[in-house]
Chain A
Amino acid sequence: MSKTILIGSPNSGKSLLFNRLTGLNQKVANFPGVTVDINSGKSLAHPDNKFFDFPGAYSLQTISGEEKIAVEAFYAALQDPQTSSVICVVDVTRLEKGLIFALQVINACAEQQKPLIIAANMIDVLNQHSLKMDVTGLEKALQVPVIAVSAKSGAGLEELQDKAISHTELPCAYSSDIIASDESVTHRQAQQLAADYGPKGDLLINAQTRLDEFFLHSWFGGISFLVIMYLLFQSIFTWAAPVMDGVESSLQFMAELILPLLPAGVVSDFTADALFGGIGAFLVFVPQIFVLTLVVGMLEDSGYLARAAVICHKPLRVFGLTGKSFIPMLSSVACAIPGIYAARTVDSPRKRWLTYLAIPLMPCSARLPVYSLLIAAFIPATNMFGGLIGWQGLAMFGIYVFGIVCGLLVTALVSKTNKDLQSDLPFVLEMPPYRLPSWRPLLRNAWSRSKHFVTKAGKVIFLVTVVIWLLGYFPNQGAALGESWLGQMGQWIEPIFSPFGLDWKYGVAILTSFLAREVFVGTLGTLFGIEGGEENIISLAEHIQNSGLPVGAGFALLVFFSIALQCVSTLAVLRRETGSWRLPTQLFISYSIFAYAAAWLTFVIVEAIV
């Protein structure tokens, strides 16, 4: 099997091109540095050829550890006899920058005598604005095939694939005119080539600047940032609510249809309590995960996130972070795992390390079912201004802000007390062009994230639910939950959680949630299902309301879940990224103690007020 390497500057549209060529669904976003691993996939048109998508690089001369790993991997791939061709992706709207890198790649390919093709990407953007570039002229000047393509529309991709597969016909010898050993010569060459063959005029960049003048304006920029962030959190409730209601009604309908057909006893009780009560309670929240991923993806694709990073830079610097920390922190709102990977875009090792401390405190989507459940149980579902502002949405916004503030306070404290923490680099961030989001990849990404959430968390929830149900149902066939095996075990752990007003059922749910946060909802659903007997189909929020849980305990639970690091995957990925168990262990222990103390304090304060 032959191999084709895809390489290019950050945000040149390389991963979108890779997805087009392979039919895969690699994460893409309008922000530099999204690809952090080398991905591979078989060509759709020529299955005997494999494409390798390398992380974007500004240069083959590296300045950080991560860049070094990617560039060394590129050189190693060039030496691989199976590598038959290299495609260097260049964004034609920013031609000079792309050509500086392309000239370096030409140099590297010349050394290894590997054929190279330049993919002049985003040709559709030039066409939209009636701008032209001289592809033939550039091809002649470089003496390398240059193919105009649009990864977005698919234009030119057939020619690109055919060219890559017919590598034996491609030149492996390069003109000495374009091979420069000196960096300043490469620079002048790129400048001249862009001036001679690139699109003329400032139309694109002027349009970008007009939008920047608004989105980065001292007042409007700050206000629009707050409005966008608020709408993001509000959308989780208002947009997802009808679908959530639909899922809940469907589950109820299915339960009413299936349960009468089952023989009374263990099978019927298991189906009602563990399947519909436990797993069903968790499935209701999947639409919220979908909406959250979709809206964050929209912001990424539009180019707005880079502006948000600029807006946040000065305030985040107060807490020892950088504007670049904003992207991993916002990604962590969907899930901490992509957030930890996105932290690789923070080039300063010191600030990246501090970002790792903040990420587990970001309100991830696994916390969402717990927050939604507790808010639904304790906050009235009244809306104002035609549903634009609702108390539940405000409460969600509040608990999200609480998590973020905790994260910032931790980084500020560590940054102030540990000045020599790793080396630092200054803030330089490329502003990507504004683009209309591409709906298809966004919807696909949101769907795959929701599917991943259901299949991955679902397995754990199913296992825990079955174990919890068995322990709670026997030995007295569900007659009295308190006298079951689980009830007896629960009495032992009750003293741990009773200081913040929780009985043993919540204690068991908290302990099981250390496997994954969402398990809390499934466990409670199963426990209330067993206890509820005939009424086990009513919503879990109603069960909590009827259980007489004090308001202070509800708030304490919210605070506990917003701080505690109950995610095995986060700990494993942190270990992978930092190369040791030291940081994950420290974070797990310190955040558990912090969560317990803050929850107790919340309970005491709220109970004193109400």
Chain B
Amino acid sequence: MTLWDLKQGTSATVQSFVSSLESSYRTRLSELGFHPGENISCVLSPSLGAPKLYRVNNSVYSLDDSVASLIKIGSQVGSQVGSPIGKSE
């Protein structure tokens, strides 16, 4: 399963990168927070194949299928109806 398969309002942990991903870009994704062990949630998944929005800590990034499908994730964790990125304090 890859990050691109993650449904809106769910989260999962990054496991690894597909080997075809260039090492420099792997480093950059890690620096942005997409590193193995990190929990990522899908904030928004627009239709028609548009890039999806993913939340890593307090930042939101837009990734298209060409890169999100190169990040392997574990199983998805629960749907958070109404507030896909967690509740505010």
Question: Residues of A at under 8 Å CB distance from B?
Answer: 58-59, 61, 63, 93-97, 100, 183-184, 187, 191, 194, 198, 200-206, 208-209, 212-213, 216-218, 221, 306, 309-311, 313-314, 317, 323, 425-431
Question: Max chain A CB contacts within 10 Å: which of B48, B50, B61, B67?
Answer: B50
> Which of these, B46, B60, B89, contacts A200 with CB under 8 Å?
B89
Given the contacts A61-B31, A201-B89, A217-B46, A431 and B58 also touching, CB distance less than 8 Å: no
Q: Tell me the chain B residues, 29-67 only, with Cβ under 8 Å from chain A.
A: 29-33, 35, 43-44, 46-51, 53, 55, 57-64, 66-67
A58 cross-chain contacts in B, Cβ below 8 A: 28, 31-32
Q: Is the CB of B85 within 8 A of A323?
A: no
B47 cross-chain contacts in A, Cβ below 8 A: 218
Given the contacts A427-B66, A428-B63, A202 and B28 also touching, CB distance less than 8 Å: no
Give the distance in Å from the alpha carbon of A265 to the alpha carbon of B52 in the complex: 70
Q: Is the CB of B55 within 8 A of A218?
A: no
Given contacts A206-B86, A431-B60, 20 further A-B contacts (CB under 8 A): A58-B31, A58-B32, A96-B57, A202-B89, A205-B85, A206-B85, A209-B60, A212-B43, A217-B46, A218-B48, A311-B50, A313-B50, A313-B51, A314-B49, A314-B64, A427-B62, A427-B67, A428-B62, A428-B63, A429-B61
Give the distance in Å from the alpha carbon of A213 to the alpha carbon of B64 in the complex: 17
A417 CB to closest chain B CB (Å) equals 21
B24 CB to closest chain A CB (Å) equals 4
A429 cross-chain contacts in B, Cβ below 8 A: 51, 61-62
Q: Is the CB of B58 within 8 A of A216?
A: no
A217 CB to closest chain B CB (Å) equals 7
Give the distance in Å from the alpha carbon of A486 to the alpha carbon of B85 in the complex: 70
B17 CB to closest chain A CB (Å) equals 12
A198 cross-chain contacts in B, Cβ below 8 A: 58
Q: Is the CB of B61 within 8 A of A426?
A: no
> Which of these, A96, A100, A187, A212, contacts B58 with CB under 8 Å?
A96
A425 cross-chain contacts in B, Cβ below 8 A: 25
A to B CB contacts below 8 Å, 15 in the list: A100-B31, A187-B30, A202-B83, A204-B58, A206-B85, A206-B86, A216-B44, A218-B50, A221-B46, A309-B62, A310-B53, A311-B50, A317-B64, A428-B28, A431-B62
A338 CB to closest chain B CB (Å) equals 23
Q: Is the CB of B27 within 8 A of A183?
A: yes
Closest chain A residue, CB of each to CB of B69: A426
Interface 1/0 per residue, B3-18 and A, CB below 8 Å: 0000000000000000
Give the distance in Å from the alpha carbon of A58 to the alpha carbon of B67 in the complex: 18
Given the contacts A61-B31, A216-B50, A205 and B60 also touching, CB distance less than 8 Å: yes
Taking the complex as formed, is B88 at the interface, i.e. its CB lies under 8 A from any CB of chain A? Answer: yes
Give the distance in Å from the alpha carbon of A59 to the alpha carbon of B84 in the complex: 29
Given the contacts A187-B35, A217-B46, A314-B49, A194 and B61 also touching, CB distance less than 8 Å: no
A428 cross-chain contacts in B, Cβ below 8 A: 28-29, 32, 61-63, 67
> Which of these, A63, A194, A213, A314, contacts B27 with CB under 8 Å?
A63
A208 cross-chain contacts in B, Cβ below 8 A: 60
A426 cross-chain contacts in B, Cβ below 8 A: 25, 63-64, 66-67, 70
A209 cross-chain contacts in B, Cβ below 8 A: 43-44, 60, 83-85
Give the distance in Å from the alpha carbon of A198 to the alpha carbon of B84 in the complex: 22
Give the distance in Å from the alpha carbon of A208 to the alpha carbon of B24 in the complex: 30
> Which of these, A63, A202, A317, contacts B24 with CB under 8 Å?
A63
B37 CB to closest chain A CB (Å) equals 9
A217 cross-chain contacts in B, Cβ below 8 A: 46
> Which of these, B27, B32, B63, B87, contacts A97 with CB under 8 Å?
B32
B22 CB to closest chain A CB (Å) equals 8
Give the distance in Å from the alpha carbon of A204 to the alpha carbon of B86 in the complex: 12
B86 CB to closest chain A CB (Å) equals 5
Q: Is the CB of B44 within 8 A of A212?
A: yes
Q: Is the CB of A430 within 8 A of B67?
A: no
B60 cross-chain contacts in A, Cβ below 8 A: 205, 208-209, 212, 430-431
> Which of these, B24, B48, B61, B88, contacts A206 with CB under 8 Å?
B88
